[in-house]
Protein backbone atom coordinates (compact mmCIF):
# COMPACT_ATOMS: atom_id res chain seq x y z
CA UNK A 1 0.00 0.00 0.00
CA UNK A 2 1.30 3.41 -0.83
CA UNK A 3 0.12 6.90 -1.50
CA UNK A 4 0.42 7.82 -5.17
CA UNK A 5 0.55 11.56 -5.73
CA UNK A 6 -1.21 12.92 -8.81
CA UNK A 7 0.18 16.26 -9.96
CA UNK A 8 -1.88 18.98 -11.69
CA UNK A 9 0.22 18.35 -14.83
CA UNK A 10 -0.99 14.76 -14.99
CA UNK A 11 -4.57 16.01 -15.05
CA UNK A 12 -3.97 18.03 -18.21
CA UNK A 13 -3.81 15.04 -20.49
CA UNK A 14 -5.88 12.10 -19.32
CA UNK A 15 -6.02 9.33 -21.89
CA UNK A 16 -7.28 5.77 -21.60
CA UNK A 17 -3.88 4.29 -20.74
CA UNK A 18 -3.30 6.78 -17.91
CA UNK A 19 -6.85 6.25 -16.64
CA UNK A 20 -6.42 2.46 -16.74
CA UNK A 21 -3.20 2.76 -14.73
CA UNK A 22 -4.97 4.85 -12.07
CA UNK A 23 -7.78 2.28 -11.85
CA UNK A 24 -5.14 -0.43 -11.43
CA UNK A 25 -3.31 1.51 -8.72
CA UNK A 26 -6.56 1.90 -6.80
CA UNK A 27 -7.46 -1.76 -7.26
CA UNK A 28 -4.04 -2.79 -5.95
CA UNK A 29 -4.83 -0.99 -2.72
CA UNK A 30 -3.08 2.34 -3.18
CA UNK A 31 -4.39 5.73 -2.21
CA UNK A 32 -4.40 8.36 -4.95
CA UNK A 33 -3.66 11.80 -3.52
CA UNK A 34 -4.32 15.13 -5.19
CA UNK A 35 -2.35 17.67 -3.13
CA UNK A 36 -4.51 20.36 -4.71
CA UNK A 37 -8.07 19.14 -5.08
CA UNK A 38 -9.37 18.85 -8.64
CA UNK A 39 -12.84 19.52 -7.20
CA UNK A 40 -12.51 22.84 -5.38
CA UNK A 41 -15.42 24.50 -3.62
CA UNK A 42 -16.01 28.25 -3.77
CA UNK A 43 -14.37 29.81 -0.70
CA UNK A 44 -17.75 31.10 0.53
CA UNK A 45 -19.17 27.56 0.52
CA UNK A 46 -16.17 26.19 2.38
CA UNK A 47 -16.57 28.93 4.97
CA UNK A 48 -20.28 28.13 5.28
CA UNK A 49 -19.53 24.45 5.94
CA UNK A 50 -16.79 25.18 8.44
CA UNK A 51 -19.04 27.48 10.45
CA UNK A 52 -22.20 25.34 10.42
CA UNK A 53 -21.48 24.06 13.87
CA UNK A 54 -21.29 27.48 15.46
CA UNK A 55 -24.30 28.79 13.58
CA UNK A 56 -27.76 28.12 14.96
CA UNK A 57 -28.67 26.17 11.84
CA UNK A 58 -29.02 22.93 13.76
CA UNK A 59 -26.99 21.28 10.99
CA UNK A 60 -23.93 19.72 12.42
CA UNK A 61 -24.12 15.96 12.44
CA UNK A 62 -24.53 12.95 10.20
CA UNK A 63 -25.16 14.81 7.00
CA UNK A 64 -25.61 12.64 3.95
CA UNK A 65 -26.66 13.64 0.45
CA UNK A 66 -28.52 10.96 -1.50
CA UNK A 67 -28.08 11.76 -5.19
CA UNK A 68 -30.76 9.33 -6.40
CA UNK A 69 -33.35 11.16 -4.29
CA UNK A 70 -31.66 14.57 -4.45
CA UNK A 71 -32.12 14.79 -0.70
CA UNK A 72 -30.03 15.63 2.33
CA UNK A 73 -30.67 13.55 5.40
CA UNK A 74 -29.31 13.86 8.87
CA UNK A 75 -30.40 13.64 12.44
CA UNK A 76 -30.83 17.37 12.70
CA UNK A 77 -32.54 18.23 9.45
CA UNK A 78 -35.99 18.45 11.07
CA UNK A 79 -34.85 21.22 13.33
CA UNK A 80 -32.61 22.98 10.86
CA UNK A 81 -32.81 26.56 9.79
CA UNK A 82 -34.53 26.40 6.36
CA UNK A 83 -32.15 28.75 4.53
CA UNK A 84 -29.07 26.95 5.86
CA UNK A 85 -30.57 23.57 4.96
CA UNK A 86 -31.30 24.77 1.43
CA UNK A 87 -27.78 26.11 1.00
CA UNK A 88 -26.26 22.89 2.32
CA UNK A 89 -28.38 20.96 -0.15
CA UNK A 90 -27.11 23.05 -3.07
CA UNK A 91 -23.47 22.69 -1.95
CA UNK A 92 -23.66 18.92 -1.52
CA UNK A 93 -25.51 18.43 -4.79
CA UNK A 94 -22.88 20.43 -6.67
CA UNK A 95 -20.02 18.61 -4.92
CA UNK A 96 -21.54 15.25 -5.83
CA UNK A 97 -21.93 16.34 -9.46
CA UNK A 98 -18.42 17.81 -9.65
CA UNK A 99 -16.74 14.70 -8.22
CA UNK A 100 -18.74 12.51 -10.59
CA UNK A 101 -17.81 14.71 -13.54
CA UNK A 102 -14.13 14.61 -12.65
CA UNK A 103 -13.99 10.85 -12.07
CA UNK A 104 -15.93 10.12 -15.25
CA UNK A 105 -12.85 11.43 -17.05
CA UNK A 106 -10.15 10.41 -14.59
CA UNK A 107 -11.33 6.80 -14.21
CA UNK A 108 -12.52 6.32 -17.76
CA UNK A 109 -12.55 2.49 -17.69
CA UNK A 110 -15.27 2.64 -15.03
CA UNK A 111 -17.49 4.83 -17.18
CA UNK A 112 -21.18 3.91 -16.76
CA UNK A 113 -20.20 0.99 -14.54
CA UNK A 114 -20.71 2.55 -11.15
CA UNK A 115 -23.66 3.44 -9.03
CA UNK A 116 -23.50 6.83 -7.40
CA UNK A 117 -23.88 6.28 -3.68
CA UNK A 118 -24.16 8.88 -0.90
CA UNK A 119 -22.05 11.95 -0.41
CA UNK A 120 -21.41 13.11 3.12
CA UNK A 121 -20.17 16.08 5.07
CA UNK A 122 -18.18 15.24 8.21
CA UNK A 123 -18.03 18.35 10.35
CA UNK A 124 -16.94 16.85 13.63
CA UNK A 125 -13.46 16.61 15.07
CA UNK A 126 -12.45 12.99 14.66
CA UNK A 127 -10.06 12.89 17.60
CA UNK A 128 -11.77 11.73 20.76
CA UNK A 129 -15.24 11.11 19.35
CA UNK A 130 -17.40 9.04 21.65
CA UNK A 131 -19.03 6.37 19.48
CA UNK A 132 -20.06 2.74 20.00
CA UNK A 133 -17.20 0.38 19.07
CA UNK A 134 -18.57 -0.77 15.73
CA UNK A 135 -19.20 2.81 14.64
CA UNK A 136 -15.83 4.16 15.69
CA UNK A 137 -13.78 5.66 12.85
CA UNK A 138 -10.52 5.61 14.80
CA UNK A 139 -10.30 1.80 14.80
CA UNK A 140 -8.82 0.06 11.76
CA UNK A 141 -11.52 -1.43 9.55
CA UNK A 142 -12.58 -2.11 6.02
CA UNK A 143 -15.89 -0.59 4.97
CA UNK A 144 -19.13 -2.52 4.64
CA UNK A 145 -22.65 -1.10 4.77
CA UNK A 146 -25.13 -2.76 7.17
CA UNK A 147 -28.20 -1.69 5.20
CA UNK A 148 -26.79 -1.35 1.67
CA UNK A 149 -25.23 -4.65 0.54
CA UNK A 150 -23.13 -4.21 -2.60
CA UNK A 151 -23.25 -7.79 -3.98
CA UNK A 152 -19.61 -7.59 -4.95
CA UNK A 153 -19.60 -3.97 -6.13
CA UNK A 154 -16.58 -2.10 -4.80
CA UNK A 155 -16.70 0.79 -2.34
CA UNK A 156 -14.67 3.62 -3.82
CA UNK A 157 -14.49 6.83 -1.80
CA UNK A 158 -13.31 10.28 -2.79
CA UNK A 159 -12.55 12.83 -0.04
CA UNK A 160 -11.84 16.54 0.32
CA UNK A 161 -10.13 18.00 3.39
CA UNK A 162 -11.87 21.35 3.91
CA UNK A 163 -9.98 22.36 7.04
CA UNK A 164 -8.12 25.64 6.63
CA UNK A 165 -4.90 24.56 8.30
CA UNK A 166 -5.01 21.01 9.62
CA UNK A 167 -4.28 17.70 7.97
CA UNK A 168 -6.70 14.79 8.13
CA UNK A 169 -4.78 11.99 9.78
CA UNK A 170 -5.28 8.38 8.77
CA UNK A 171 -3.59 5.12 9.40
CA UNK A 172 -3.92 2.35 6.84
CA UNK A 173 -3.01 -1.33 6.88
CA UNK A 174 -2.24 -4.23 4.60
CA UNK A 175 -4.81 -4.70 1.85
CA UNK A 176 -7.55 -7.29 1.97
CA UNK A 177 -5.65 -9.95 -0.01
CA UNK A 178 -2.98 -10.07 2.71
CA UNK A 179 -5.31 -9.54 5.62
CA UNK A 180 -8.16 -11.96 4.89
CA UNK A 181 -6.03 -15.15 5.18
CA UNK A 182 -4.85 -13.98 8.61
CA UNK A 183 -8.45 -14.06 9.86
CA UNK A 184 -10.32 -16.58 7.70
CA UNK A 185 -11.19 -19.30 8.31
CA UNK A 186 -9.63 -19.36 11.83
CA UNK A 187 -11.41 -16.36 13.33
CA UNK A 188 -14.22 -15.96 10.84
CA UNK A 189 -15.78 -18.71 8.72
CA UNK A 190 -15.32 -18.57 4.99
CA UNK A 191 -18.42 -17.26 3.21
CA UNK A 192 -20.80 -19.92 2.03
CA UNK A 193 -21.98 -19.78 -1.59
CA UNK A 194 -25.60 -19.00 -2.53
CA UNK A 195 -27.95 -21.54 -1.08
CA UNK A 196 -26.38 -20.94 2.32
CA UNK A 197 -26.85 -17.20 1.92
CA UNK A 198 -27.58 -15.32 5.13
CA UNK A 199 -30.99 -13.74 5.10
CA UNK A 200 -29.74 -10.43 6.36
CA UNK A 201 -31.26 -8.05 8.83
CA UNK A 202 -34.89 -9.11 8.29
CA UNK A 203 -34.29 -12.43 10.01
CA UNK A 204 -32.11 -10.70 12.57
CA UNK A 205 -34.92 -8.24 13.21
CA UNK A 206 -37.39 -11.07 13.71
CA UNK A 207 -34.97 -12.84 16.03
CA UNK A 208 -34.78 -9.68 18.11
CA UNK A 209 -38.55 -9.44 18.20
CA UNK A 210 -38.70 -6.40 15.94
CA UNK A 211 -41.34 -7.94 13.69
CA UNK A 212 -41.48 -5.99 10.44
CA UNK A 213 -39.71 -2.96 11.82
CA UNK A 214 -36.62 -3.54 9.70
CA UNK A 215 -36.78 -3.44 5.90
CA UNK A 216 -35.72 -6.54 3.99
CA UNK A 217 -32.07 -6.38 2.97
CA UNK A 218 -30.83 -9.18 0.79
CA UNK A 219 -27.20 -9.76 1.51
CA UNK A 220 -25.09 -12.06 -0.57
CA UNK A 221 -22.63 -14.43 1.09
CA UNK A 222 -20.03 -11.84 0.11
CA UNK A 223 -21.83 -9.01 1.92
CA UNK A 224 -22.33 -11.07 5.06
CA UNK A 225 -18.63 -11.87 5.16
CA UNK A 226 -17.59 -8.26 4.55
CA UNK A 227 -19.88 -7.02 7.32
CA UNK A 228 -18.51 -9.59 9.77
CA UNK A 229 -14.97 -8.77 8.71
CA UNK A 230 -15.57 -5.06 9.40
CA UNK A 231 -16.80 -5.89 12.89
CA UNK A 232 -14.09 -8.46 13.56
CA UNK A 233 -11.27 -6.04 12.74
CA UNK A 234 -12.68 -3.38 15.04
CA UNK A 235 -13.19 -5.89 17.84
CA UNK A 236 -9.76 -7.53 17.54
CA UNK A 237 -7.62 -5.80 20.16
CA UNK A 238 -4.51 -7.63 18.96
CA UNK A 239 -4.93 -6.40 15.41
CA UNK A 240 -5.71 -2.86 16.56
CA UNK A 241 -2.59 -2.77 18.73
CA UNK A 242 -0.08 -4.71 16.64
CA UNK A 243 -1.38 -4.92 13.05
CA UNK A 244 0.90 -3.50 10.38
CA UNK A 245 0.06 0.13 9.76
CA UNK A 246 1.25 3.27 8.10
CA UNK A 247 0.30 6.90 8.76
CA UNK A 248 -0.96 9.30 6.10
CA UNK A 249 -1.57 13.00 6.57
CA UNK A 250 -3.87 14.54 3.98
CA UNK A 251 -3.17 18.26 3.66
CA UNK A 252 -5.75 21.04 3.86
CA UNK A 253 -7.17 21.61 0.38
CA UNK A 254 -6.27 18.13 -0.84
CA UNK A 255 -8.38 15.27 -2.16
CA UNK A 256 -7.68 11.57 -2.04
CA UNK A 257 -9.45 8.40 -3.01
CA UNK A 258 -9.21 4.77 -2.10
CA UNK A 259 -11.11 1.50 -2.19
CA UNK A 260 -12.12 1.48 1.46
CA UNK A 261 -13.50 -2.06 1.22
CA UNK A 262 -9.97 -3.41 0.71
CA UNK A 263 -7.69 -0.95 2.50
CA UNK A 264 -8.11 -1.07 6.29
CA UNK A 265 -8.14 2.48 7.55
CA UNK A 266 -8.80 4.57 10.63
CA UNK A 267 -9.24 8.32 10.99
CA UNK A 268 -7.32 9.60 13.99
CA UNK A 269 -7.78 13.33 13.69
CA UNK A 270 -9.15 16.02 11.42
CA UNK A 271 -12.29 18.06 10.91
CA UNK A 272 -14.44 19.15 7.97
CA UNK A 273 -14.27 16.54 5.25
CA UNK A 274 -16.48 16.02 2.25
CA UNK A 275 -16.82 12.59 0.74
CA UNK A 276 -18.53 10.96 -2.23
CA UNK A 277 -18.96 7.19 -2.47
CA UNK A 278 -19.22 5.14 -5.66
CA UNK A 279 -20.19 1.49 -5.93
CA UNK A 280 -18.16 0.19 -8.84
CA UNK A 281 -19.41 -2.94 -10.63
CA UNK A 282 -17.18 -6.02 -10.23
CA UNK A 283 -17.03 -6.46 -14.01
CA UNK A 284 -15.45 -3.00 -14.33
CA UNK A 285 -12.32 -4.07 -12.43
CA UNK A 286 -9.10 -3.97 -14.45
CA UNK A 287 -7.33 -6.18 -11.84
CA UNK A 288 -10.19 -8.26 -10.34
CA UNK A 289 -7.79 -10.69 -8.65
CA UNK A 290 -7.07 -8.04 -5.98
CA UNK A 291 -10.73 -7.33 -5.17
CA UNK A 292 -12.21 -8.71 -1.95
CA UNK A 293 -14.65 -10.71 -4.09
CA UNK A 294 -11.82 -12.16 -6.18
CA UNK A 295 -9.80 -13.00 -3.06
CA UNK A 296 -12.73 -14.64 -1.25
CA UNK A 297 -13.82 -16.64 -4.28
CA UNK A 298 -10.27 -17.91 -4.65
CA UNK A 299 -10.05 -18.80 -0.96
CA UNK A 300 -13.43 -20.52 -0.85
CA UNK A 301 -13.36 -22.04 -4.32
CA UNK A 302 -16.94 -20.89 -4.87
CA UNK A 303 -18.91 -18.10 -6.48
CA UNK A 304 -20.22 -15.81 -3.76
CA UNK A 305 -22.66 -13.44 -5.44
What residues line the site for Fe ion (CB under 5 A)? 143
Residues sharing a CB contact under 8 Å with residue 135, sequence separation 6 or more, in sequence order: none
51 contact partners, CB below 8 Å, separation of at least 6: none
Q: What is the CA radius of gyration of the chain?
A: 19
Considering beta carbons, is residue 126 or 143 the nearer one to Fe ion? Answer: 143
Q: Tell me the closest approach of the beta carbon of residue 267 to Fe ion, in angstroms.
A: 8
Q: Which residue is nearest to Fe ion (CB)?
A: 143
**b vs e for 156-188, b when ≥16 Cβ sit within 10 Å of the residue's Cβ?**
bbbbbbbbeebebbbbbbbbbbebbeeebeeee
For β-strands 31-34 and 3-5, DSSP reports them as parallel
Q: Is 170 helix (H, G, I), strand (E, B) or coil?
A: strand
Nearer to Fe ion, 143 or 223 (CB): 143
Q: Which is nearer to Fe ion, 121 or 286 (CB)?
A: 121
How far apart (Å, rounded) are the C-alpha atoms in residues 228 and 223? Answer: 9
72, 92 in Cβ contact below 8 A? Answer: yes
Edge-to-edge strands, sheet with 273-280: 3-5, 31-34, 255-259, 154-161, 273-280, 114-122, 63-66, 71-73
Q: Which is nearer to Fe ion, 117 or 143 (by Cβ)?
A: 143
Min dist CB 134 to Fe ion, Å, is 11
Beta carbon of residue 265, minimum distance to Fe ion (angstroms, whole number): 6
Nearer to Fe ion, 224 or 277 (CB): 277
Give the HSE-up count for residue 95: Cα atoms under 13 Å, Cβ half-sphere: 33
- Distance in Å, CB of 280 to Fe ion, minimum: 16
Nearer to Fe ion, 202 or 240 (CB): 240
Quote the CA–CA distance of 81 and 79 in Å, as a whole number.
7
CB of 291 to Fe ion, least distance (A): 17
Shortest Å, Cβ 142 to Fe ion = 7
Amino acid sequence: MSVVTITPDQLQTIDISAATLWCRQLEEGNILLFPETPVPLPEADTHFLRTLEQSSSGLHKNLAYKPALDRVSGADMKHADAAAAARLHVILRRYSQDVTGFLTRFLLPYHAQWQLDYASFRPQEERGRDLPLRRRNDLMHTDAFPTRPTHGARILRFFNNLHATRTRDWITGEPFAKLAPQFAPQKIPMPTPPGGVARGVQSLGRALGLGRALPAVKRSAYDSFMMRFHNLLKEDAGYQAHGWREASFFPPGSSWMVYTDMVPHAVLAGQFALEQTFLVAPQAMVAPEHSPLGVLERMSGARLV
